[in-house]
Amino acid sequence: MSKPFDVCIRGSGVVGRTLALLLARERLRVALVARPAQGGSPAEPPPQDVRAYALNSASRQLLESLRAWPDAPFSTAVREMHVWGDDGGRLDFASEPGSSAALAWIVDVPALERQLAEAVRYQPQIETVPEPVKAALTVICEGQKSSSRNEFGAAWTVKPYPQKSIAARLQSDQAHHGVARQWFNHGEILALLPLSGADGNSVALVWSTSAGRANALEKLSREEFSAAVQTACNKEVDEVGRLQLDSALSSWPLTLSRAERWVGPGWALAGDAAHAVHPLAGHGLNLGLADAAGLAAVIHEREYWRSLGDEKLLRRYERSRKADVAAMGAVTDGLHGLFAQTDARWQALRNWGMKGFARSGPLKAWVTRRAMGL
C-alpha cells in the first residue's frame, strides 16, 4: 500500500510547481495535479506561448534556490526602464551602477515551465497525478478560472476592466540593451520588455487597450499590427527601432479579482486562484511566488503537534500575504483609473505628477528598491 499524501496541489503551473518543490524540501509527500494537455490532434501543434514574466530579485532568489531559474537567453536583466506619459511626462529608472542586481528579469514562460517541470521530475517526494487525491492539505493553484474554489466555498469577487491585454513577440532592427519601455497613452498601456539576453533585439509586447480596439488589432495582418505598434511608440522610434511582429497574438480580458477567503479547514488558495491584479506593474507572478514562499514558511515553522490542514495555521499564511496583495491591487487599480481619465485636466495632473516623482530623489529610490523586491 502506498504512503498517503501530505499535500495535494491542484494546478501544475509556475506557482503550483514552485510550491510543490518547496514543500518537498520539508520532506512532505506531495501530489501535483497536472493540467490537461492543451492543443488538438498530434498533427496539430499547440499554439505558441508568447507570454513573458517580469520577475524581481526575491522571485529570482526563490527559483534559483530550487534550481529552476532559466539561463540566458531565456532570462534577460532589465538595467533601465523608461516610462512615458501622454503629455510629456516621463520617468526613468536604472539599477545602481556596478550592482549585480537588475530592476527585474524578463523570463520566457515556456523556458521557466520547462525548468520547473524538470526539477519536479527529479524530486522523489512529488508525484504527478491526473486527478485530485486525499491529503491533509489541499492547495488550489489553478489560476483565475479555478474550478475548485466553489468546492471549498471560497467566494470570488471580480471587478472587470473595460480592457483586454494583448501579448506578442516582436523583432527590432536594433538591440534593446536591457531597457524596458512603457507608454501610458490616453487609457492605453503598452510595454516592450527585453528578451534574448542583453544584446538581443527581441521584445515581448504587453498592450492593454479597450476591448473593442483589442478585437480590431487582433484582426490585422502581421504588417498592419507591426505598424500599429510602431505608431503607438512613434515618438520614441529612435529608441525602439523598427519593429516587426514575430509571433502569434495572445489576448485575455483584464480584471481586479480576489477571493474573500484564502484558507479554510484543510485547504488554501495561492497565486491567481487567490488574486489577480492589472498587469501594468508586472507583479502578478511575483505575488504568486511570494504566496508559495509564504505558505511554505508557515508550514516550516508550524508547531509539531499542529496538522498541515489546521485552519489556525493556515490563517497565518493568509494574514502574511493578504495585506501585500491588497496594497498592490490598490496601486494598480488607482494607476489604471488615473490614466483612464481622458479629460485634459486629469492629463495635465498625471503628467505633472510623473515629472515631480522623477525629481523626488529618495522617494523614487525607495520605490525602485521595492519594485526590485529588495
**Interior CA angle at 274 toward 273 and 278, to 5°?**
90
> Does residue 326 lie within any of the structural domains?
yes
> Does residue 342 lie within any of the structural domains?
yes
Q: Which helix (H) or strand (E) holds 210?
A: strand 202-210
Q: Which of 222, 249, 224, 241 is nearest to 181 (CA)?
A: 241
One-letter amino acid for residue 184 of the chain: F
Q: Give the 3-state secondary structure of residue 291.
A: helix
Q: Write the CATH number for 141.
A: 3.50.50.60
Cα–Cα distance measured from residue 299 to residue 23, given in angstroms and rounded to the nearest whole number: 8
Taking each helix axis as running N to C, give the angle between helix 362-372 and helix 344-358, from 0 to 180 degrees, rounded to the nearest 10. Answer: 90
Tell me how far CA of residue 260 lies from CA of 19, 74, 155, 302, in angstroms. Answer: 22, 36, 6, 24
Check: CB of residue 69 under 8 Å from CB of residue 77.
no
Owner of C-alpha cell 519594485: 371
Work out the widest C-alpha separation in the chain, in whole angstroms.
71
Signed CA dihedral, 356, 358, 359, 361: sign only: positive
Cα–Cα distance measured from residue 6 to residue 13, given in angstroms and rounded to the nearest whole number: 20
Cell of 234: 512613434
Q: How many alpha carbons lie under 13 Å from residue 173 in its C-beta half-sphere?
A: 8
Which residues, listed in sequence order, are joined to residue 5 by a DSSP beta bridge? 135
> Does residue 197 lie within any of the structural domains?
yes
Q: Give the 3-state secondary structure of residue 362.
A: helix
The per-residue pLDDT string of the chain (374 residues; one tens digit each, 9 = 90 and over) reads 467 899 999 999 999 999 999 999 999 999 999 865 544 444 555 677 888 899 999 999 999 999 999 988 899 999 888 888 766 667 777 776 555 678 899 999 999 999 999 999 999 999 999 999 999 999 999 988 888 998 998 999 888 888 899 999 999 999 999 999 988 887 788 999 999 988 899 999 999 999 999 999 999 999 999 999 999 886 666 778 899 999 999 998 888 888 999 999 999 999 999 998 877 666 789 999 999 999 999 999 999 999 999 999 999 999 999 888 887 777 666 665 555 556 555 455 555 454 454 444 443 454 455 554 54
How far is residue 337 CA from its own chain's centroid?
20
Which residues, listed in sequence order, are joined to residue 256 by a DSSP beta bridge? 159
In the chain, the number of structural domains is 1
pLDDT computed for residue 1 by the predictor: 41
Check: CB of residue 2 under 8 Å from CB of residue 132.
no
pLDDT computed for residue 101 by the predictor: 74
Strand bridging mode 267-269 / 263-264: antiparallel
Q: Secondary structure of the chain: what % helix, strand, coil (to 5)? A: 40, 30, 35
pLDDT computed for residue 13 by the predictor: 93
pLDDT computed for residue 116 by the predictor: 96
> Does residue 87 lie within any of the structural domains?
yes
> Does residue 43 lie within any of the structural domains?
no
> Does residue 156 lie within any of the structural domains?
yes
Q: Which helix (H) or strand (E) holds 183?
A: strand 179-185
pLDDT computed for residue 71 by the predictor: 85
Full residue range of the structural domain in which residue 346 is found: 5-38+49-372
Cis amide prior to 73 (ω within 30 degrees): yes
The torsion region of residue 219 among left (phi > 0), alpha (psi -120 to 50) and beta comes to alpha
> Does residue 44 lie within any of the structural domains?
no
Global confidence as pTM = 0.87
What distance, in Å, lies between the first and last C-alpha atoms of the chain? Answer: 47
> Does residue 346 lie within any of the structural domains?
yes
Check: CB of residue 300 under 8 Å from CB of residue 294.
no
